[in-house]
Amino acid sequence: GGAVKALNPKAEGGGAQAALAVNISGGGGLQDVLRTNLGGGGTMKMLVSGSGGGGLTKDGNVLLRGGGSWGCSEQGQIQHPGGGGIAKVATAQDGGGGDGTTSNVLIMGGGVKQADLYISEGGGGIVAEGFEIGGGGALEVLDQVKVGGGVDRETLIDVAGGGGRTKVHAELAGGGGEAVVDSVLTVRKPGGGGGLYMVEIMEMRGGGETDTTLIRGLVLDQGGGDPDMKKRVEDGGGGTCNVSLEYERGGGPSTCSEVRGGGVYKSAEEREKGGGGERKFIEDRVRGGGELKRKVCGDSGGGVVVINQKGIDPFSWGGGAKEGIVALRRGGGGNMERSLCLFSGGGALACGGTAMNGGGGLTPDCLGHAGGGGEYTLGEEGGGGIEKCENPRSGGGGIRGPNKHTLTGGGDAVRDGLRAVGGGGEDGCVVPGAGGGGGAVANALVKHKGGGEGRAQLGVQAGGGGLLIIPKVLAQNGGGGPQETLVKVQGGGGESGQLTGVDLGGGE
């Protein structure tokens, strides 16, 4: 402190007790802000940006990242040192488990408040040691209270619905929960576990928010670009390619369908010949695709859906439309893998076809099978996609809603649900919610002190007391009495030993 004062006489400083008080007040402040969000009976909060945009949310992670009304900068970074650390933990929880960010903030805030009672009497090191011991004891209790033996689809739907009801209304959480579970089961690998990156979340403005559905296929934000192109293809071929189908013009300004090059010509005749050669190069690629389509479909009148990672110009679109090819552009790198895992055939992930990176040497084996695909129009926006695939290993979720904040809130809830359901499926077990699992851990730590010795037992007890904030807040938000509910939760199921949670409808 003295060295800082010597360098800057106007600097403000404080001792260890002052710094501790600042950190404890930060944890308690975040807890007070988010406690009204917890549970299905929690309240929505409105976020308003500097440009006038707004949104409604109950997601603790969204509030911590974007709430500018309680000390956040433009990037959503909390300036308070203690509060910033808690916010980072909540963000990590959202990225790993999806759900539980608000609960984490409340538990940490409750823990520091409990610790303050012992630290004020001169036991800072004791509390820190007790927290570490209590963490190990909590894991042992969780192994005892978990419901294992594998989880079925109905249990996963309960997991998704339980988390969804804390962020959106019950009707949307019920229908969206089934879509989330089906998405996870679709992309799950044969040996267990699964890559959630294989699920594409697409926001489609229009319709009601309850129209959110699962698409067992792929959703793209761009459709076809030619009026003569087929709108739908049923029971046809499906292909994935990373080939430029745009006319690459040399020199001059670039447009959306032309790539600026650096060609130099001595005369207008040479320029015309060069341009014709470049155009012919693209036409040969389109012609090769048409020949492949005729080999696969013959004269049956069937079609082929092609997802191209690169661009397609109007001339190429027109050539594909004449051949009965539905071409969807700008698929993106991530959708290359997703689309390959759609078309059934063979391979490690039951995917058919291969990614085509050139226009030559195309064989029928390059294509897979697409049960249906094409473009769609929803309100003023359009897009495309592929569905009805046999044994798909990728999926898409169509988030619908009448306005921006509804789409954003629904998308956040679906992403959190995917992580929560994916984690439950991999672990093969769940922990009772509504304060039941946390209450059991807190009771064990308070009664048995987590195996701590000597004065460290006080720190273990402080950690257990912090966990009891969850049933108290759930009861308060549900309209019940927090103290009465806490007594019942601590009492448990009596001699039966059954876990006791909070009824979120009545707060009991």
Q: Please state, as a whole number, how many other Cβ atoms lie within 10 Å of the Cβ of residue 139.
A: 10
Tell me the HSE value of 293 on the side-chain side, using a 13 A CA sphere.
26
Q: Is 268 exposed, middle or buried (0-12, 13-18, 19+ CB in 10 A)?
A: exposed
* 241/309 Cα distance (integer angstroms): 6
At 470, give phi and psi (nearest 5°). Answer: -65, -55
Please tell me the pTM assigned to this model. Answer: 0.68
What does the pLDDT read at residue 56? 74
CA-angle at 72, arms to 67 and 74, nearest 5°:
90
CA distance 55 to 404: 8
* Nearest in space to 473 (alpha carbons), one of 459, 492, 489, 494: 489
Write the DSSP assignment of 287-330 as a string of letters. HHHHHHHHHHHTTS---EEEEESS-B-HHHHHHHHHTTEEEE--
Which residues in 356-383 are b (16+ Cβ under 10 Å) and which e? beebeebeeebbbbbbbbbbbeeeeeeb
> What pLDDT sits at residue 83?
74
Write down the CATH number for the domain with range 2-148+432-496: 1.10.560.10
Please name the residue ranges forming H helices in 146-190. Answer: 153-164, 170-187
pLDDT score, position 248: 63
User: For the chain, which residues make up each domain, given as ranges?
Assistant: 2-148+432-496, 218-393
**pLDDT tens across the length of the chain (508 residues):** 556 567 666 656 556 677 777 777 777 777 777 778 777 777 777 777 666 666 777 777 777 765 443 334 444 456 777 777 777 777 777 777 777 778 878 888 877 787 777 777 666 677 777 777 777 777 777 777 777 766 777 877 777 777 777 777 776 666 667 777 777 777 776 555 556 767 777 777 766 666 666 666 677 766 666 777 777 777 777 777 777 777 765 444 444 444 445 556 677 777 666 666 667 777 778 877 777 777 777 766 667 777 777 778 878 877 877 877 877 766 655 555 665 554 443 332 334 566 677 666 677 777 777 777 767 666 666 667 777 766 666 667 677 777 777 777 777 777 777 787 777 777 777 777 777 777 777 777 777 665 556 667 777 777 777 777 787 877 777 777 767 777 776 666 555 556 776 766 655 5
pLDDT of residue 18: 73
pLDDT confidence of residue 344? 41
The fold adopted by the segment(s) 218-393 is GroEL (3.50.7)
How are beta strands 304-308 and 232-241 bridged, if at all? parallel
Going by the DSSP 8-state scheme, the letter that residue 393 receives in this structure is S
Place of tokens 């090819």: 325
3-state SS assignment for residue 428: coil
Residue 43's region, left for phi above 0, alpha for psi from -120 to 50, else beta, is beta
Q: Is 280 exposed, middle or buried (0-12, 13-18, 19+ CB in 10 A)?
A: exposed
